[in-house]
Chain A
Amino acid sequence: MIEEFVFYSLLLWQIGIISYILLNKFYGKNSKKIIKTSQPTAVEVDLPNKKSIEHVDVAMKKNILMEKAKVSNLKTDEEIKGKVNTQKNKLKKLRGL
């Protein structure tokens, strides 16, 4: 009984040791190379203070070039002759002119 116990326990130990050796041989640890780099970290710099300036509107100077077209026979569709009544005199009075 004791002999059997010793025999089986030795057998188990041998299997364990052989398994360890084989695993170590084929799946050994990959040694990771650690490369130290010296990357500078960002630093805050003081920017010159900008004044908040509002936008300004500028008058556009547009050079619109336009050639006259050739016109033939162009006549006014409707012409009403006679004194044209306007409110000019009343307008003049209102403006104090």
Chain B
Amino acid sequence: MAKGLDCGTSFYITATEDRIKKQRNAFLTVDGEVTQVKRMLKRQGIPFVEKNKKIHIVGQHAFNYAQIFSTAELKRPMKSGLLNPQEKDALPVLNAIIGELLGDAVGDETCVYCVPSKPIDAQREVSYHEDVLKTIIEQYGYNVKVIEEAVAIGYEGLVDNQLTGVAISMGAGMCNIAVMYQGMTALSFSVARGGDWVDECVSTDTGVSKAKVTNIKESSSTLNLAKGVYSDIYEEGTEESNVLIAIRSYYGALINYLLTNLRVQFEGIDNVPNFPDPVPIVIGGGTALVKGFLDVFNEQFDQTEFPIPISEIVLIEDAHTAVARGCLSEAQLVEEDEEDND
């Protein structure tokens, strides 16, 4: 059975034809005597990973712990869309997360995973990240293929437009962009800013911990970035209202950064494809999930400055799983192709 895997900074998501599985990509190292800690965690049914005499709580449990105990440091195996160089215990945790989500391959199964495009604002290469993930997935017995994250978004959102348009994946660690023409990628790049950047900026400006900002952003029922709604319901001066105002502000700054860099990159490439007809911008990814996101995007978008005529700006249905579903489509086609060849 074909599988698509979205290797995100914040979540790892797998898609198969009959289910979607999500695992928060975070962990927390528990101090204390190993045997005792293990016994305690097992008793409470809390998942953990053991490596080199260290015990790490993994996934949503780690995230929840970090909310409750402000001194507990939530660790991230990935940062800015790539493996976190500061985190020495990242690989065993990633291995465990991928193993849990994919399971061992049964027969000749294909897994398509995604990697970011090369960032234009960070001195990082994608190659090592790509190889590590490939090695882990192959350990579980899969035939592995990789595609770019934004292209996966294109496979979900641009099929009704002959795979022509602009695909944007708004992730936690990065935003990935691909300008596609007839299924080919004319331009792709990433910027090392995303939802985490918003959280960090908001945390710095409001004095609220980053974990709490993330939690408010993801779970606040009152969070709506749409202009009319936003200005009416929040009481000024409360901690939450300060956070929400700052979130809206930094969302605007993030989208502006993204669009400006897209324009600059587009002006800098040779052989720019000609788009005679307006094309859509399709957006997916967890950072685009917040209510009122499209309002902020439309506020920042200026057709007169944008190098391509745009017909519409669309948020893909179930934006959080769009990358995983795009990978799944590719994996299914690879498997069908192999079956036909056999």
Contact = CB atoms under 8 A, between A and B. Distances in A.
A88 B332 contact: yes
User: Which secondary structure characterizes the binding site on chain B?
Assistant: helix
A94 B163 contact: yes
Interface string B45-61: 11111110000001110
Contacts of B333: 88, 91-92, 95, 97
Interface stretch (B116-124, B154-162, B245-253, B298-306): B154-162
A86 B332 contact: yes
Contacts of A55: none
Given A60-B127, A69-B49, A86-B325, A76 B160 contact: no
User: Which secondary structure characterizes the binding site on chain A?
Assistant: loop
A78 B22 contact: yes
Given A84-B19, A88-B333, A66 B159 contact: no
B95 interface: yes
A72 B50 contact: yes
Interface string B161-187: 011000000000000000000010000
A79 interface: yes
B136 A94 contact: no
A86 B95 contact: no
A64 interface: yes
B33 interface: no
B289 interface: no
B47 A75 contact: yes
A77 interface: yes
Interface in A46-97: 60, 62, 64, 66-88, 90-92, 94-95, 97
Given A72-B41, A72-B50, A80-B19, A91 B329 contact: yes
B70 to A, nearest CB: 22
A40 to B, nearest CB: 50
B23 interface: yes
A68 B47 CA distance: 16
Given A76-B101, A91-B159, 12 more contacts: A64-B135, A66-B139, A71-B47, A71-B96, A73-B48, A76-B21, A78-B21, A84-B328, A86-B326, A90-B159, A94-B159, A94-B163
Interface of A: 60, 62, 64, 66-88, 90-92, 94-95, 97
